[in-house]
Structures are given as structure tokens and as C-alpha cells.
Amino acid sequence: MAKTYDKTERPVSDRSQKEKFNRSLRIFDYVWLYRWKFLFSFVILVVSSLVFLVIMQLPGEALNVIRGEGKYELSIKEIFSLLAILLVIQAPLSFLRVRLQAEVSEKAMGSLRKDLYAKILRLEIPFFERTRVGELTSRITNDITQIQGVFSLTLAEFLRQLIILTGAIVYILATMMKLALVSLAIFPVVVIAAMFFGRYVRKMTKARQEQLAQSNIIVEESLQSINTVKAYTNEEFELARYSRSIDETIRISLKTASARGLFSAFIVTIMFGALFYIIYRAVLLVQADALPVGDLFSFVIFTALIGGSIASLGNFYTEIVSALGASDRVVDILDSEEVEGTPSPAPSTSPAPATAPHNVPQLQGNIRYENVRFNYPTRPDVNVLKGINLKIEPGQKIALVGASGSGKSTIMKLLLRFYPLNDGRITVDGRNIEDYDLHQFREDLALVPQEVLLFGGTIRENIAYGALNASEEAIRNAAEKANALDFIENFPEGFDTLVGDRGIQLSGGQRQRVAIARAILKNPAILLLDEATSSLDAESERVVQEALNRLMEGRTSIIIAHRLATIREVDQIYVIENGTIVETGTHEELSDRPGGAYSALARLQFQRLD
């Protein structure tokens, strides 16, 4: 039953360039949802670019008319009237193109962000154990922002410069063949240089993005553990760690900028050197009456357009290939097969995900662990559970006792289906838990952890997380049963009190009671308590334990506890050592068992209390 992760762990660098390119093009699936607007914007772009080329040609024609060398039998007034009309046409075309492309890029990247976040939420726990939160945040922010920049601006400008380049070349070839051949002789050199520098800049830009992601990870970790940072006065250490990462980012960025600067310098030197030489040849032709002055003027303008387009194409090319690298990293996550339950959906075409059916009967809570063996995917050489067998009847309360690292929390995590089993099976109500719909199965379970991390909204929102459509009365009743109503009403804002990031503005006991209220509101069939009172003072523990006793009434409950006083009344206690069950019985039975692990632990704790 163990899963492998070879495909998702395959390094991006191992893929061929063709494979990377094909994978990156998958991002176009999101743009293709708005293909008619996208294609129409490019039709407008083509028309607008052609209009621009005509505008650039008209001043030269006006000079020819003044010298009596005009080609189109137009007067100066007609030429400048046409110029004004084309400028008026150009303005709304430019506005409409930018507006359409912005709409397509915003909506397409919005859909991509939603699908990427949805996929991340559905990934299995082992994925998050291997991947840091800061890196995922970088993918959903920096990488998609880079991709969006290509669709909203870079791709359009790349095509626009390509059209201007092609149009300008065609024009000077058709009108001034001799000069055109001289100027076009430098194109192969520039194109080869652009390809070389573009590949190098892409590599450096990717390295910069990855280094920036590492910087984000440092920020994420230090802010998530800000209390620990301050308690140990390690602000300067964290700042130094972040500074080193940012300095490395700057080093890579400057190296990339140097490459771009060299490329720009190369382009300027070649293009302007060639331009001056061509102007010199053109002046000789004008002196020999072989070239009209207006054509010379147009030639200079169009040659400058060609040079500017080539330089721009080089820059836009590097931005596009950098975005392809970002797309490859995003597709890595979208293609990940480590999805809980069912595969992740294809690119979204509808705004709302499908909801699970609500007519499934609630579980009874008859739980069986049958020869369960397990090791964590990230630690395959460490056997955490070694043949666990236990049974829990509906409504029964059982406790798991043992030293830290013995496997207690792992037993809970496997019931929640956070990980696949290596061997054995777990059944609920006689059915393998793997056969249940994962979403519906977890609807019947509730977890109250030792360290409660609340969301940064209000107390009401945190309690309602257990049942999103709960009424105000139901939320209030849940808070009352959790012994939380009194302290909530003592706040000036009551249920609208903001709890702060991770609930930092509430005490440990208050956070625990909010978590218990959330579990009460969920009304689960199976309750999981992971040392829910171990970090509380005596008075808070008493209040929280009262709330837990109400919560456990009539429910199948699994309790992990280090304080044996909190589990005296449970129906069965399982003592875990090194991934195996070494003792089973009630508190009285195990306490009276001479030489037993539980009795030794009980004597130690209760003597200490006396």
C-alpha cells in the first residue's frame, strides 16, 4: 500500500528542453478559456502595428512632395490630414487592445491561482513535509505574477515588435534595396547573440527566483515562530540569515543585469555603428540624385525601428523564457499525483467546486486497527508502528499512553488518513477507511490538538469553521458547552473579537475552548483529543476538561494524554512503547498490575501530585 513519489520528486533540471517547453505551454489552457477575446486583441494588435508603420512612412513622403518627388500624388495637406486620421484611429485601438489583454490575463491567472491553491490544499501531508510553506507561497505569488506579466504585456509587445520589424524590413527592401541589404547583413549576428544571451539570462533568472523563494521561506518561518525568536533574543540572527539570502539574491540579480547590460551594449554598438555607416552610404546616394531625401528620412526612421525592435525582442525573449521556467514550476504542482482521495480537477471552467453529498449516514464509531504497520514516507528507515491491533466500540472512550515518539499521534493521523498504511488495515463500522469518500469520512471526525492555531479572523468565524452554515444560536450554544461563552462575552466585541494571527491575542486555555466549541459545532461521530490539556495551568485545565467531558458524551473518543489524571474514567487504556501495544486495561486494572509500565508511570505522577 505504500506510495512512491518518484514522478513528483523528479528534478526539473533532469527534463529535456522540449519537455520543459511542452509542460510550460499547459498554462495556455487557462488563457484559451478566453480565446476569442485573446485572439481579437491580437487582431487589433496587428492592425494597430500596421497603422503605426504607415504613420512612420508619411513624414518622409511629405518631404518628397516638397521636393517634387512624391510617389502617391498627395498634397502636403492631404498627407497630414491622413496622418491625423490614423492617429485618431490608433488611440482607441491601443486602448481596446490593452484592455482586452488585461482582462484575459487577470481572469486566466485568477483561474490558475485558484486551481493551484485548490491543488495545494488537496495534496497529501507527505508533500508538505518535503516542501516548505515559503516555497509554495512563492509559487502562487511570484511565479504566477511573472507569468501574468507575459500575458498582459510582454507577449503582445513581442508580437508588436515582430510585426514592426517584419514590416520595416519589407518596406526598405521594396523601396531601397541597396541600403536594405547593407543593414540586414548584421541581423544573423544579432539573432545568434540574442539566443545566447537569452538562454543565459533565463538560467540566471530562474536561479534568482529560487533564491528569492528561499528568502521568503526564512521570513515565513521566523514570523510563524516570532514568540520563539523574541524569547531567545535571536532577532539579529534571523536578520543576518535573511540578509545573507537577500545578498545572494542581489548577487544573482546583478550578475543577470550584467549579462543584460552586455547584451544591450553589444546591440547598441552594432546597431548604431551599422546605422551611421548606412547613413553615410545614403548621403552619397542623395548627392548622386539616386535617392530622394524623403526616402532617406524614411529609411533612417525604419532602420531605427528595426534596431529598436531587435533590441526589444531580445529583452522580451528573456522575459518569456523566464516565464516558461516559472510555468514549469507551477505545472510541477498541478501535475503532482500526491492528491488525497480523488484526482485534482482539470483547469477550472466554472467558479464553484462540486460539493460532497450530504445524505450519507453518520458513522457509528466502531473502529478496528488490524496489524497496522507504518513508517513515514520522509523516514522510510524508521518503523513507527509495528503491528498495532486495537478495537474501539461505538461510544467508547479509549486513551493512548506512552512516551513521546512511541507512535500515539501517528495512530490518530492514520485514522484521519493523513498517510497510507504500509501494511494492515483500519476499519470503521466494518469497512476499510480507504473505501470511504475522504471528504465525507473526515466530516464525521473532529480533532482537538495540543497546540491550537486559530485563523486570524473573529471568534465567531473560528467556531463556525466546524460548520460553515451554522446559525448564530448554534455557535453560541457550542461556545457555552465549551465553557467559552463567559470569556467571549467579557470582550467588548464579543464574538466579533479578532483573535490575531494564529489566535495570539487569546490565552492557551481560551484557544483550546474555542477549538472545543468548533468540534462541538461539527457534531462528529469520532473525537480525537491529542493532549488537549497538557499545556494548560490547573484552573484552565479544569475548565477545559469539563468542556471535553461534555464533548465526549455519546461519541467514540480517542485520547492521547500524558497526565493520567485526565483519563481515569475512560473505558480502555492502551500503553504504547516503540510502536507496539504493551499493556491494555482500565486505569484500576493497569495501576494494580505489578511491574507494569502504566503502574510505574501512575505512581510517579500521583506521588508527585501528593
Quick: pLDDT tens for 502-515: 777 888 778 888 88
Q: Give the residue-averaged pLDDT of 66-92.
A: 77
**SS3 readout for 350-409:** CCCCCCCCCCCCCCCCCEEEEEEEECCCCCCCCCCEEEEEEEECCCCEEEEECCCCCCHH
Q: Give the residue-averaged pLDDT of 291-297.
A: 76
Superfamily in which the 365-444+526-537+556-610 domain is placed by CATH: P-loop containing nucleotide triphosphate hydrolases (3.40.50.300)
- pLDDT-derived band at 606 (thresholds 50, 70, 90) equals low
Can 365-444+526-537+556-610 and 452-523 be said to share one CATH topology?
yes
Query: Quick check: 556 pLDDT over 70?
Result: yes
CA distance 291 to 270: 25
- pLDDT-derived band at 350 (thresholds 50, 70, 90) equals very low
- pLDDT-derived band at 338 (thresholds 50, 70, 90) equals low
Query: Quick check: 24 pLDDT over 70?
Result: no
DSSP label at 498?
Answer: B
DSSP label at 153?
Answer: I
Domain residue limits, the chain: 17-334, 365-444+526-537+556-610, 452-523
CB-side neighbour CA atoms (13 Å) of 363: 30
Q: What is the pLDDT of residues 416-471, one digit of tens each?
A: 888 888 888 899 888 898 888 888 888 888 888 777 778 878 888 888 887 888 88
Stretch (H or E) spanning 432: strand 431-432
Q: What is the pLDDT of residues 213-225, one digit of tens each?
A: 788 778 877 887 7
The pLDDT value recorded for residue 9 is: 42
Exposure of 174 by Cβ count < 10 A (0-12 exposed, 13-18 middle, 19+ buried)? Answer: exposed
The C-alpha angle 353, 148, 155, rounded to 5 degrees, equals: 130
CA distance 534 to 509: 10
The C-alpha angle 18, 22, 25, rounded to 5 degrees, equals: 140
Of the candidates 256, 276, 258, 272, the residue with the CA atom closest to the CA atom of residue 311? 272
Q: What is the C-alpha R_g of the chain?
A: 35
Query: Quick check: 348 pLDDT over 50?
Result: no
Greater pLDDT, 389 or 311? 389
φ, ψ for residue 108, nearest 5 deg: -65, -45
Long-range CB pairs of 463-466, under 8 A, 24+ apart, other chains included: 463/495, 463/514, 463/517, 463/518, 463/521, 464/518, 464/521, 465/518, 466/517, 466/518, 466/519, 466/520, 466/521, 466/522
The pLDDT value recorded for residue 183 is: 65
The pLDDT value recorded for residue 609 is: 44
The pLDDT value recorded for residue 345 is: 41
The pLDDT value recorded for residue 189 is: 67
CA distance 544 to 551: 10
CA distance 58 to 70: 11
Ranking 340-354, 443-457, 511-525 by mean pLDDT, the lowest is 340-354
The pLDDT value recorded for residue 3 is: 41
CA distance 342 to 334: 14
Greater pLDDT, 135 or 238? 238
Q: For domain 452-523, which architecture applies?
A: 3-Layer(aba) Sandwich (3.40)
Most confident residue range from 64-68, 208-212, 583-587: 583-587
Of the candidates 361, 365, 363, 408, the residue with the CA atom closest to the CA atom of residue 556? 365
Q: How far is CA 482 from CA 268, 467, 477, 514, 517, in A?
A: 73, 15, 9, 7, 5
Confirm if 513 and 482 have CB atoms less than 8 A apart: yes
The pLDDT value recorded for residue 358 is: 45
The pLDDT value recorded for residue 610 is: 44
Q: Give the residue-averaged pLDDT of 110-123.
A: 83
Q: For domain 17-334, which architecture applies?
A: Up-down Bundle (1.20)
Confirm if 282 and 296 have CB atoms less than 8 A apart: yes
- Mean of pLDDT over the chain: 77
Look up residue 32 and give its three cell numbers: 484559451
CA distance 257 to 181: 33
- pLDDT-derived band at 356 (thresholds 50, 70, 90) equals very low
The pLDDT value recorded for residue 7 is: 38
The pLDDT value recorded for residue 341 is: 60
Residues in the chain: 610
Query: Quick check: 194 pLDDT over 80?
Result: no
The pLDDT value recorded for residue 308 is: 75
The pLDDT value recorded for residue 19 is: 65
SS3 196: helix
Q: Give the residue-averaged pLDDT of 108-120.
A: 84
* Helix, strand, coil abundance in the chain, percent, nearest 5: 65, 10, 25
Q: Give the residue-averaged pLDDT of 596-601.
A: 74
The pLDDT value recorded for residue 2 is: 38
Query: Quick check: 495 pLDDT over 60?
Result: yes
**CA terminus-to-terminus distance, the chain:** 49
Greater pLDDT, 476 or 61? 476
Confirm if 136 and 143 have CB atoms less than 8 A apart: no
Identity of residue 236: E
Confirm if 482 and 553 have CB atoms less than 8 A apart: no
- pLDDT-derived band at 71 (thresholds 50, 70, 90) equals low
Model-level pTM greater than 0.95?
Answer: no
SS3 123: strand
Q: What is the pLDDT of residues 279-291, one digit of tens each?
A: 777 777 777 777 7
SS3 151: helix
Could you give the strand order of the β-sheet that contains 367-374, starting from the edge strand earlier in sequence? 385-392, 367-374, 423-428, 431-432
Stretch (H or E) spanning 64: helix 35-66
Q: Give the residue-averaged pLDDT of 91-117.
A: 85
Query: Quick check: 360 pLDDT over 60?
Result: no
The pLDDT value recorded for residue 225 is: 73
